[in-house]
Structure formats: structure tokens, C-alpha cells
Structure 1
Amino acid sequence: MSDESSLQLPPFNGSTVRVSILYAGLLVIPTALMLQPQIPGHDTVDAPMYSFLVENDKVGKKLMYDLGMRKDWREKLAPSIRKLFQHTDASVDIPSDVVDILNSASVPLSSINSIVWSHRHADHTGDPSLFPPTTSLIVGPGFKSNSKSYPGYPDNPDVHTVQDAFEGRDLIELDFDASPLKVCGLRAIDWFEDGSFYIIEALGHTSDHIMALARTSEDRFLLLAGDAAHHVGEFRPTPLLPLPESIRPSPFEAPRSVIACPGSIFEQIHPCSHSHDSGSFRTTPFYEPRPAINSDPATARVTLEALKVFDASPNVLVILAHDPSLRDILEFYPEGDLTGWERQDGQPNSKEAGTWRFLRDFGTKDIQELVKAQQKTE
């Protein structure tokens, strides 16, 4: 995966899916728990919890990819998991969960055929017990045999999952050995068997972690990346997607603005600026994941490298489960869907508008003053 041409996207077989993104609450987490090195001024990470409604009209199927966190987490999660959130100084705000949003949009829960968990952590698993028994639950490889995921609490005292998620419904563990497909070097399953939605093995963060590649048009895709990374600064910039000399639209302006800012102003806060290779700030990600955030850091690195290749393709919009930089870029359900993310209409499309939006996180007073000074000279 040394260059963008190595990304061979699956061929078109005539089918697409409609994908909608649901805002299922917000976590605020100290940056130092997840990312390194520390960049001055970026002390906390806003981590919205995204859920996705995927609809395949041709086969008449709907699924949810991730559910955010259950609203009654303080009462229903294992005490050890509740303490984990409390002791890390993370704040949790869930004004409306996924079921609230679906109900408000008059979507019958019985119409949801499956729930796909990207992995076992409580900020993704939601509350499947609210869905009828006809809704199956899809999990990654090894889930059932791993005591860290199954069975759930209270049968198992120290897991993120809750036993009522599994009761009375089909629990389907994916078998990637049974599929010959690979996408970007990672094993994949054509879920609807029509080339519209692929579930991808993306291990490392947990031993059961998966991503999903959704085809929204003949040659455009959304990569629902789960927790393959926790901040897009872990995979931007790269040699495949270098930081441009002029960033347009500026991350400090409206997302569809034509105003630009120079990429060079971020050199001073990039970790490379303190090394012998300071010139590589345009092609080196701002962050590395802290090893403790992933159950298998070496395997997580393989997944992250694949993520960089997906991200470099103009045909793929990567959406992390907790990416705040896209909140003012994407249209949230039920107001709209993501199907036309690549449309331009004379303005930057969603990928172009959102790629460098994360640089707002580093908008210290000094950076802001540099931007204003540059704009005055133009």
C-alpha cells in the first residue's frame, strides 16, 4: 500500500445503499488519554457518537452501524465500566439516543433487520434490547469466545456489553475465513451480496473491530471507520494526502468558504518542527495513538495504514465514529442523508470541505493571529 493506486475499490454491480448519519450524543475526553504527543492548546477531544442507518432498497433491508451509548449507562453498565468513564474525567451527554431519533422520524424499529457493532465498547453498542427480536446483532470475529465481550454484564462482571443486548435475538459472528474478498489488503464480506455494502476486518483497537465500506453511487463510497482512529490527525497529512500550501476552505472559516489559509502556519505546532526532519510536517500525521488505547498496537497500525490509503482516495469519504470536524459539514438524520456527499454544485464537496477542518483543534491565539495577518496581505 505504498501509493494511492494500490486502492482497488470493488467493481460496480448495479447496487448502492442510502446512508444516513445520526448524532447519538457527545463524549468529551482528555486528549492525553488517546493521543501523543501533546499539542499545546488541544487538551480535550470532543467525541460525538455517530450511528449510521444503511438502507438497501433493492433487497429491502435496513441496518444500523453502531448505536452510540445507551442513555441508562449509569444504571445498566458494569460498575467497572462506569468507573472507567468517571475516573478518566470524560463527560457524557446523550440528549437523544438512536432509538429516540428513529422514533421521532417514524421509523419502526421492526424495520431494522440488523445492528452491526464496530466493536464491543459501550460508546458503540447502545441498547439493542429496545429493538425487537427480529433484529439480529452482527459482531466481529472472535466476539463470542472472548470473555472481554461475551457474555455481557451482569453474567460477566467486567465487560462493556450488557447481556440484555443478546437475549432473544440472533447473534451473528462474522467469519472472514469464508470470504475470498479483500479491500485495501483487509479481509471483507459483501454483506448484501450485491456489491453495495462491505464489512471489513479492521483489528487492533479491539480483537473484534470491523469497519464498513458503503457504496453511495457507482464509484463513490463512505468508509464507516469506527475506532480505527480516534482523531483524523492520526492519518493526516501523509505522502498520499499532503498538507497543501494553501488550505481552501480555511479550517477557521465557514466550511463552504472560498477563503484560504497557508498550510505553513501549522509547521510551528507540528511535532516534526522539533525534530531534525522539520520539513516533513506536510506529509506526517500530527498524532500517534497512545499504545494503551489499542488492544493490539501492532495490528492497529496495519489498520491505520489502510485507513491512510482509503483517505487519500477522492472516491472515499472516511468518517470516524467520533470525528467532530465533520459536524458542520454533514447533514444529519432525519434532515438529510449522506448519499450525495460527492456533489459540488460549484462549492467544495463534503470531502474537500472537511479534510483539513480538524486543524481548527490547533487554533491557538498565535495561529489565529497568523491567519488574520496572512489574509490582510492577500
Structure 2
Amino acid sequence: MRSDYERDDELPAWASKLMNLTLFQNLVLRPVRQHKLISHRVMSSLILPEFKGSTVDVSIIHAGQITVPAVYILQSPIPGHDLLDIPCYSFLIENKRRKKVLFDLGPRKDWREKLPPTRSTMKTDGSLKVLGQIESARAVVKIEQDVADQLSKAKIPLESINTIIWSHHHMDHTGDPSLFPPSTELVVGPGFKLDKTTSLGYPMNADALVNDDAFLGRNLVELDFSGAVNIGGFLAIDLFQDGSLYLLRSNGHSEYLYTVMTGITNTFKIANNHISALARTSENHFILLGGDVAHHPGEYRPTEHLPLPIEIRPSPLDKVTCSASACPSYIFENISPTTAKAKGKKTKVTPFYELNAALNEDLESAEASLDKMTVFDGSANVLIIIAHDASLLDILPFFPKKITDWNVEGYKEAGAWRFLKDFSRAISQPM
């Protein structure tokens, strides 16, 4: 259903005056049909693709768990937010023509045996490779059932999966495509085939960061965004050509370095290769699969598009600290880090965390991608799910169930501020 007003300047005067007061109330109150004012406000800067008659179903798969000290992931962790137990999500996406796509695979079960060894032979600086990075970060990786196991248990034949999409080439996303038949194509970001750490793959290429069994004998598709459309500032490819699933070029977190021959000169170029996805779940509703655009919701909430409300419902904290139904937001403003108070910023519209420079290979591009994603986050028509959002574990139904009807079920409202429970130890005074 299209809204009556497409821009803020078309809204009646009374609606514009009430907008700041009703933003969060409209977001958290059910039923979802009450969210009109939010949609009007955000749609002034976010134009979502027109409906072409096609949608997809989406399921979220818990593909593994990684426990790691927060300092390795977050920039200046809030005191008490010391350890991250982060899930690794994969997404099964199916269109009405029964085409099935997996967006990311999580880690592979045999990672200890199959991932590239500790150090790169190519780099003279002795840079740590994949296993070395896990060891250095003191990370604990746990996989009970990988994606292939869970699909088989649900009686979904692996040969029915048409496409695997890697958001990027890091081990907690690439999984084990070799478990799938050669008929399943693998889609990767720009520059993959030219980069010396991804082309060929390990062990064929001793310096590779990915395994060669992922793409040997199968169609490897490298995305070309040269003819892409623009959605919310992201370059986007309409994968099925029916408006139901878009792949977004969300630069910054990962990149490739490769060589181009220009006469007798070798020119090094960087191709940002990180991919997100925008899945249309109904005529006017979408799920944005953010991948590693962020690693914690505190990196993109709150913002001017989704401000911290005066009262948070449902409460993200235990009953000792707050009532079960509601929690005042000012107790979180008091722990808002230097990203807000010390810089003279407003705590209600400033994220709790900045992106970690050590975790993003092109920080400036990563910040630009994150800024674009916050506009989507402010829309009542879009649910954001990043690859490692632990706050959604007790909100969303997991595979084999579907999250297609997220807007009807109120998952966005229930989960938007759930991540604040991670800061409970920083709150010293019970309310």
C-alpha cells in the first residue's frame, strides 16, 4: 500500500509538528499499521524500489558461534561489555519460481583442518593468516550443525540450492561450498578473481585466504556493478530481474588488492568487495542483510533516523534494573561513550560505538556504507539484520521457520533496542 504523502514537505502541518514526539511511539507500538509517520519521515531521503509483482521468502540460519574479547571487534568497548558471543548467520532466500539462494554460509565445521595455515608465505612482514588471526584473538569457534547439515535435516536437497553468495571472503562467512553440488554457482564481489589472496584458493595457492574447493568445478560469478541502479546510495544489482532481491555494494569492511598491467607498469588498485542484500518480503517491506557493514547494533543505533526513545519498550534489562515492560533511556545516555558527550553530540541520536579501524580495511568507505544503512534502519519498511547480531537470538524464529512476515509479527519493534542489554554491567544504579 502506497502512502498518501511521499515527502515531508507534503505532510500536513500538524503531522510535521508531531513527528519528533511520535517517532519512537510509532515504531514500537503494535499493530504495525500505526507506523505511518515514521515511514513518511524516512521516505523523504530513502526511495525504495518499485514493486514489480515479485517477493521472496527469507529464513535465518544459525550457522555457528564465535566467542571473542570485545576489544578485538569494537572500538573502545563500554566498560563491562568485555566479551562477545556472536552468532554467524546464513540466510536462505527463495523466490516464487523456487529459485533458492544462500547469502553467506557462516564458518565451516572443519575449519581447524582446512583453513589456510598460520602465516602467509607471500608477505615478508609475517602477517597472520586465518588460523593465526583466530588464535591471536583468543576466539572460540563453535559449530554444531553447518548450513548443509541443517538443510538436509529439513529435507531440502543441497542440489536445489541454485546460488551461494559470499558477502565477502572472511572465514565466518564463506563456510564450505564444496558440500554443495557443482550445479550451485558461487557469487563473489568485484576483484575476487584478480586478487592474489583469493584467486585459485588454498592449498593450490599457498597464499590464499580462501579454500580452492569452494569454487573448483563450479561456476564462479564475479559481480559487475558498472550497470547497477542506485538504492539508498548503494549500487544495486537486481539478481532475479524481478525486483525481489537486490545485491548492494557496501564498501569498506573488506577489499582486494590486485595488479593491472598498464604497458610496462604494474598499477595496484583496490576494489571494495563487500556485498549486502535487500530482500523484498512483501509489496512494501524489505529485509536488509547487512553482512559486516557493522558487527554490533550499537555501531548504527541510535541515529537521527532512529533516535533513542524516552522510554524503551520492551525493556532490554532485567527486572532488578528496570520493570519488565519499560525502561527509561536516560540510564543509557549516562554511559554513552566519548563518541557522543565528549564531542558535544546529542546522545539520543549518536551511536554508542564508532567503527573499529582495525576491523575495516577501508574505514572511510565503511563509515559511508554504515551511514547509508542507518537511513534504511530508520524506515518502518525495512528490517536490518547484520551477520552477527546476537540481540536477535531470542527475537527471531530460526530455520526452518521463516521471517518473511517480520512486519506483521513486530520483530523490528521487539528487537530494535534489545542490544542495550549488553551494557547492563555499566549501569551502576538500579532504577
| Common fold by TM > 0.5 | yes
The equivalent of 1:300 in structure 2 is: 366
CA distance in structure 2 between the aligned counterparts of 1:273 and 1:78, rounded to whole angstroms: 37
Structure number with greater Rg is 2
The equivalent of 1:205 in structure 2 is: 253
- Residue 331 of structure 1 pairs with residue 397 of structure 2: yes
CA distance in structure 1 between the aligned counterparts of 2:343 and 2:336, rounded to whole angstroms: 11
How far residue 273 of structure 1 moved from its aligned partner, in angstroms, is 8.8
CA distance in structure 1 between the aligned counterparts of 2:250 and 2:426, rounded to whole angstroms: 38
SS for the counterpart of 2:365 is helix
How far residue 75 of structure 1 moved from its aligned partner, in angstroms, is 0.3
Q: Are the counterparts in 2 of residues 249 and 259 from structure 1 also a CA contact under 8 Å? A: yes
TM, length-normalised to structure 1: 0.92
CA distance in structure 2 between the aligned counterparts of 1:178 and 1:61, rounded to whole angstroms: 23
RMSD between superposed Cα atoms in Å? 1.7
How far residue 253 of structure 1 moved from its aligned partner, in angstroms, is 5.5
How far residue 366 of structure 1 moved from its aligned partner, in angstroms, is 3.7
CA distance in structure 2 between the aligned counterparts of 1:201 and 1:274, rounded to whole angstroms: 29
* Superposed CA offset, 1:104-157 (max 9, x none): 001000000000000000110000001000000000111111123222111223
The equivalent of 2:242 in structure 1 is: 194
Which of 57, 62, 71 aligns to 2:100? It is 62
CA distance in structure 1 between the aligned counterparts of 2:217 and 2:45, rounded to whole angstroms: 43
Q: Are the counterparts in 1 of residues 300 and 374 from structure 2 also a CA contact under 8 Å? A: yes
Instruction: Spell out the pairing of 1:195-344 with structure 2 (5 A cutoff).
Output: 195-207=243-255, 208-252=273-317, 259-272=325-338, 275-276=341-342, 280-334=346-400, 336-344=401-409
SS for the counterpart of 1:342 is helix
Q: Which structure 2 segments of 5+ residues have no match?
A: 1-40, 119-129, 256-272
* Superposed CA offset, 1:214-258 (max 9, x none): 00001010001100011110110011111101000111269xx97
Q: Are the counterparts in 2 of residues 267 and 273 from structure 1 also a CA contact under 8 Å? A: no
Which of 42, 56, 74 aligns to 2:112? It is 74
Q: Are the counterparts in 1 of residues 79 and 426 from structure 2 also a CA contact under 8 Å? A: no
* Superposed CA offset, 1:75-120 (max 9, x none): 0001121121011111100011001100100100000000000000
Q: Which amino acid aligns with 1:307?
A: M
Q: Are the counterparts in 2 of residues 236 and 286 from structure 1 also a CA contact under 8 Å? A: yes
Task: Tell me whether 266-275 or 239-248 shows the greater mean CA deviation.
Answer: 266-275
SS for the counterpart of 1:134 is coil
Q: Are the counterparts in 2 of residues 24 and 98 from structure 1 also a CA contact under 8 Å? A: yes
Which of 361, 367, 373 aligns to 2:422? It is 361
CA distance in structure 1 between the aligned counterparts of 2:80 and 2:100, rounded to whole angstroms: 42
Q: Which amino acid aligns with 2:247?
A: I
CA distance in structure 1 between the aligned counterparts of 2:181 and 2:205, rounded to whole angstroms: 23
Q: Which amino acid aligns with 2:416?
A: T
The equivalent of 1:17 in structure 2 is: 56
Q: Which amino acid aligns with 1:63?
A: V
Q: Which amino acid aligns with 1:214?
A: A
Q: Which amino acid aligns with 1:329?
A: I
Q: Are the counterparts in 2 of residues 28 and 47 from structure 1 also a CA contact under 8 Å? A: yes
The equivalent of 1:376 in structure 2 is: none
TM, length-normalised to structure 2: 0.80
CA distance in structure 2 between the aligned counterparts of 1:227 and 1:294, rounded to whole angstroms: 9
Work out the percentage of aligned pairs sharing the same amino acid.
Answer: 52
The equivalent of 1:171 in structure 2 is: 220
* Superposed CA offset, 1:19-61 (max 9, x none): 000001100121111212221000111210100000012x331
- Residue 133 of structure 1 pairs with residue 172 of structure 2: no
Structure 1 segments of 4+ aligned residues over 3 angstroms from their partners: 272-279
CA distance in structure 2 between the aligned counterparts of 1:164 and 1:366, rounded to whole angstroms: 48
CA distance in structure 1 between the aligned counterparts of 2:301 and 2:158, rounded to whole angstroms: 38
Q: Structure 1 16/122 Cα, relative in aligned 2: closer, same or farther at 3 Å?
A: same
In the alignment of these two chains, the number of paired residues is 359
Q: Which amino acid aligns with 2:172?
A: D
Q: Are the counterparts in 2 of residues 272 and 281 from structure 1 also a CA contact under 8 Å? A: no
How far residue 277 of structure 1 moved from its aligned partner, in angstroms, is 5.4
Q: Which amino acid aligns with 1:190?
A: D
Task: Tell me whether 150-159 or 44-53 shows the greater mean CA deviation.
Answer: 150-159
